[in-house]
Chain A
Amino acid sequence: MTAVLCYAEHQNGRLTDAALEILGAGRALADRARSQLAAALFGTETRPLIETLGEHGADRVLLCEEARLDGYAPEAAVHALADIARQETPRAVLFADTSHSADLAVRLAARLRAAFAPRCTSLAFDPEGRLKVTRTAYADKLQATVLCEQPAPIVTLQPGTGEIKPARRTPRVEERPLTLPQEAARLKLLQTLKADPRTVPLAQAEFIVSGGNGVRDFALLWELADRLGASVGGSRVVCDDGRLPRERQIGESGTTVRPRCYLAFGISGASQHLRGMQDSKLIIAINTDRHAPLMKLANMAVIADAEAVLRALLDQLD
């Protein structure tokens, strides 16, 4: 039976959230089409992930345990995916819209001369079983409904299109050896450079230390950010009176951020500010006012004077 195929992206021994979302979307699509969901899992030491794939709805796991597929190896991965697509004739191939997965998706589409729809917002099969997707184009101003036909239509999904949903299955594992000749991979990854937290655009920053009206001395904040390897941001008040440059402003009239951690000193959290940072994974707020809106939102609320805590943190980091 032909199946819906998902590419299971993983990093540091874990499936990425984007990959789980794709599995959710794939499961929903497969259920509606009464077909199976297969996941392509590449790389060594990936066996522990098979269970997670099952927990998110995969009926089959197509496993290629091969050291040449570890890390960023687009040529080998596309070769393996093309082999799978030719054998399986999947009804759709789903990728996350991350730099890693989207790069593979577009290469695979070019290799197979297949239909390709990036950044889709919805997916369905029409009555004849063809894949019908909507995607944004023309600088996201227009929305196109695209009919994709065989072989193996390839799509990437915008984040938030699929839902991470448990759907307990015990997947059947099928091993797929890599048939790529050794010398055929021409690209070599020389190194990966980490972004410099001082210069990375705030929207992409992973860890943000931000200050509001409760902080007078911003030199302290910059110093703390440097020590922690974080980027500096601030509320509108402090950008208005020049304590921080305008491009450091977080909130609706500034930058919308979604870091892994948001450490806020002396920010009460006007709704305009909250809307610019509420998607942060972890929020730590330090404020003397226990009823401030940001304190309610925070994972860790510290009721204390922001600047005093700032100094204490710097002392303890010495």
Chain B
Amino acid sequence: MHIVVCVKDVFHPHDLRLPANGQKSPDGLRMPNRADECAVELAVRLRDQEGGRVTLLSIAPPEAEETLESLVGLGADALVRVWEARLAEADVAAVASVLAAVMRRQQAGLALCGDRAVGGAGTGLTGPLLAEILGWPFVGGAVALEAGKKEGMVVTRLIERGDRQVLYTPLPAVVAVSPEALTPGYPALAKIRRAKREVCGLEGIASEAEALSAPLPMTVIDWAIAKPRPRKLFAPPSTASAADRLKMVMGGGMAKKAQDSSVEAPPEKAAEQILQFLRQEKLI
């Protein structure tokens, strides 16, 4: 099976510059997107088990090459970088349409991507848009991949509280990988040297990528440094005694004092009551 992994470079959160006049998006030090690294690692492991090959696909300017090489070093067989000056202005819908066109040309059997760019705009739309354009099923938040018994793919998806859903999807499919999937390995020089590289423009795929001219109906009108959300300040109730107020402030300013019950009993009795309470709350 030919696994194509869409990768991109993002900006390091500690080195971000707000867009100056005329720029559309922030700038900064480039690094690989963590979720994409996880996707590459999962793809390589799947290839090692089931055979096939792994191609990385990126729409990125030459400046991104260094970070892309570190992704190649995780064990991909080839890297395809698509770039043309007009892609600098492309929004997520245009990017997805170009990715879809290359996917078709590469005859991908499985498309992987990160489920959102942690140091990017982070809408997480690339995967779902790609799936819509190709007409393939989509699974997001994947943490594990396994070939199905006869055909298709079994994908484990992370949901709340560490719980996971195991889903079956027929192939071809688009799977977006969670940045929490695993700890990616280190890039190896031997792997970087072995991989094939291809740099191409939009010729031959431009006609398919018509959506380049149809961006999603949204515009960022202002960028700012994110401010932490204000926390509610605690003021001890004026009805409490001075000693109590002092204690409340010393205790970290805990506002609520929702004592439902207080128990003073020998350990056995206390334990009974605790268990009763837990049962009542359906915790056991």
Contact = CB atoms under 8 A, between A and B. Distances in A.
Interface string A95-107: 0001110010011
B251 A271 contact: yes
A193 interface: yes
Interface stretch (B40-48, B52-60, B80-88, B156-164): B156-164
Contact of B162 (A190, A201, A315): A201
A115 B226 contact: no
A72 B267 CA distance: 45
B218 interface: yes
A87 interface: no
B221 A100 contact: no
Contacts of B166: 189-193
B254 A278 contact: yes
Contacts of B283: 207, 228, 260-261, 282
Contacts of A144: 121, 220, 222-224
Contacts of B159: 99-100, 192
B262 interface: yes
Contact of B160 (A99, A116, A148): A99
Contacts of A115: 216-218
B193 interface: no
A149 B218 contact: yes
Contacts of A145: 220-224
Interface string B120-134: 111111001101100
A139 to B, nearest CB: 4
Nearest to A196: B162
Interface stretch (A28-36, A163-171, A234-242, A290-298): A290-298
B204 interface: no
B251 A296 contact: yes
A136 B259 contact: no
Nearest to B28: A138
Contacts of A121: 229
A148 B122 contact: no
Contact of A190 (B167, B223, B248, B258): B167
A270 B275 CA distance: 26
Contacts of B220: 144-147
B164 A192 contact: yes
A2 interface: no
Contact of B252 (A189, A263, A293): A293
A192 B176 CA distance: 19
A195 interface: yes
Range class of the B interface residue count: 35 or more
Nearest to B222: A145
Contacts of A153: 217-218
Contacts of B224: 142-145
A75 B170 CA distance: 14
B226 A140 contact: yes
B239 interface: no
Contacts of A282: 281, 283
A84 interface: no
A106 B219 contact: no
A150 to B, nearest CB: 7
Nearest to B132: A110
A293 B281 contact: no
A103 B129 CA distance: 13
Contacts of B264: 290, 302-304
A299 interface: yes
B272 to A, nearest CB: 7
Nearest to B220: A144
A274 B267 contact: no
Interface in A78-116: 98-100, 103, 106-107, 109-111, 113-116
Contacts of A284: 274, 277
Nearest to A133: B218
B240 to A, nearest CB: 11
B214 A113 contact: yes
B125 A110 contact: yes
A147 B270 contact: no
A151 interface: yes
Interface in B84-120: 93, 116, 118-120
Contact of B284 (A228, A291, A301): A228
A149 B216 CA distance: 9
Given A143-B223, A293-B252, A302-B263, A189 B165 contact: yes
B109 to A, nearest CB: 15
B223 A313 contact: no
Contact of A103 (B140, B170, B252, B263): B140
Given A110-B131, A150-B217, A296-B254, 17 more contacts: A99-B159, A110-B128, A110-B129, A116-B123, A140-B226, A143-B223, A146-B221, A188-B167, A278-B252, A296-B247, A299-B260, A301-B259, A302-B262, A303-B264, A304-B266, A309-B267, A316-B268
8 contacts: A109-B216, A137-B122, A144-B220, A206-B161, A282-B281, A299-B260, A309-B274, A317-B275
